[in-house]
Amino acid sequence: MEPTAKTTAPQTADACDCVSACFLQSNDNTLPSDVALDCQVEKIYYGDFLAVRDSYVPIRKNQITGFIGPSGCGKSTVLKSINRMNDLIRGFRFEGKVHFHGMDIYDKKIDPVSVRRNIGMVFQQPNPFALSIYENVAFGLRLNRYKGNMDEQVEKALRSAALWDEVKNKLKNNGLSLSGGQQQRLCIARAIATEPRVLLMDEPCSALDPIATRQIEELMIQLKERYTVAIVTHNMQQAVRVADQTAFFAVDISSGGRTGYLVEMSPTKQLFENPQQKLTKEYLHGDFS
């Protein structure tokens, strides 16, 4: 379940009295140095339904990792598991580990709110709050009781999201007054204002026109210099254009279920030009979708 689009700001967001400073301070000595986040899915259930199994997805630092595969193969489920967004869904159960900065984010000691503060997310439908452009970006900072210069931080986030020049003279206007592409860049600004380490995006361009899509793609490529990015896309060409690594998922129907799993993951060029698995070849050929 995604946050409802175009609602007022959520009142349930937790106060930041429990920032797990450990995420912010720790160095990770347990992962290869180029891996920011090591997602090891054994099983993911919604109630009794086994949605995803056996998927090891290392997310590399300062790269874009693309998730591709047919509808229902678990791309969103795995992505949302990476920042515990699925915790909010009844019946959701994750078996496995997600290593991040020397910790398993599913460890009982870890506060899911602090996970989401460090691993931000942008959704399919742009979902700005019914607040001013400025307050949309300031939202997470206020929640975190940010003590620095708010104006500067808001400007920085809007510049990083390639939106500043378009909105600098109308920061008090409602975020919902912007175009779809601008709204999505506003959501990206909101997500990066608190400077997370990882940015997850679930089909961030699927509601956008080709020009806005290109802008977001260019933005992603800029953002990876400072952030680690993982993106779900239903558009294989988008994966080719932006992703450094691509993970291909498929659905296993062999035992009467519909369980998603990772078929293979490689550098994007290699996956598209020289896939190792027959199923990947067939998918890239368009034999099934």
Ligand X SMILES: Nc1ncnc2c1ncn2[C@@H]1O[C@H](COP(=O)(O)OP(=O)(O)O)[C@@H](O)[C@H]1O
Does residue 76 touch Mg ion according to CB under 5 A? yes
Residues 6+ apart with CB under 8 A from 197: 36, 101, 118, 119, 227, 228
Rule CB under 6 A: which of 245-284 touch ligand X?
258, 260
Stretch of 32-40, 60-68, 73-81, 162-170 lying at the interface with Mg ion (CB under 5 A)? 73-81
Tell me the three state secondary structure of residue 81.
helix
Choose among 96, 98, 62, 60: nearest CA to 82: 98
Does residue 66 touch ligand X according to CB under 6 A? no
What is d(CA 27, CA 225) in angstroms, rounded to the nearest whole number? Answer: 19
What is d(CA 190, CA 288) in angstroms, rounded to the nearest whole number? Answer: 37
Give the residue with the Cβ less far from Mg ion, 93 or 234: 234
Give the residue with the Cβ less far from ligand X, 15 or 89: 89
Does residue 77 touch ligand X according to CB under 6 A? yes
Task: Specify the pairing of strand 119-122 against strand 259-267.
Answer: unpaired
Does residue 74 touch ligand X according to CB under 6 A? yes
Give the residue with the Cβ less far from ligand X, 20 or 77: 77
Stretch of 33-41, 71-79, 270-278, 279-287 lying at the interface with ligand X (CB under 6 A)? 71-79
What is d(CA 223, CA 62) in angstroms, rounded to the nearest whole number? Answer: 8
Residue of 39, 51, 154, 219 that binds ligand X (CB under 6 A): 51
Does residue 88 touch ligand X according to CB under 6 A? no
How many residues bind ligand X (CB under 6 A)? The answer is 15
Minimum CB–partner distance for residue 134 and ligand X (Å) = 33
Rule CB under 6 A: which of 89-148 touch ligand X?
89
Tokens representing 191? 């997500």
Stretch of 72-80, 106-114, 156-164, 182-190 lying at the interface with ligand X (CB under 6 A)? 72-80
Does residue 289 touch ligand X according to CB under 6 A? no
Minimum CB–partner distance for residue 189 and ligand X (Å) = 25
Does residue 124 touch Mg ion according to CB under 5 A? no
Q: Where are the alpha helices (DSSP H) in the chain?
A: 21-25, 75-81, 112-118, 133-143, 150-160, 164-167, 180-193, 210-223, 236-242, 268-273, 278-285
Tokens representing 203? 């089909």
Choose among 165, 163, 160, 154: nearest CA to 223: 160
Q: Contact positions toward ligand X, by CB under 6 A?
A: 1, 46, 49, 51, 69, 71-77, 89, 258, 260
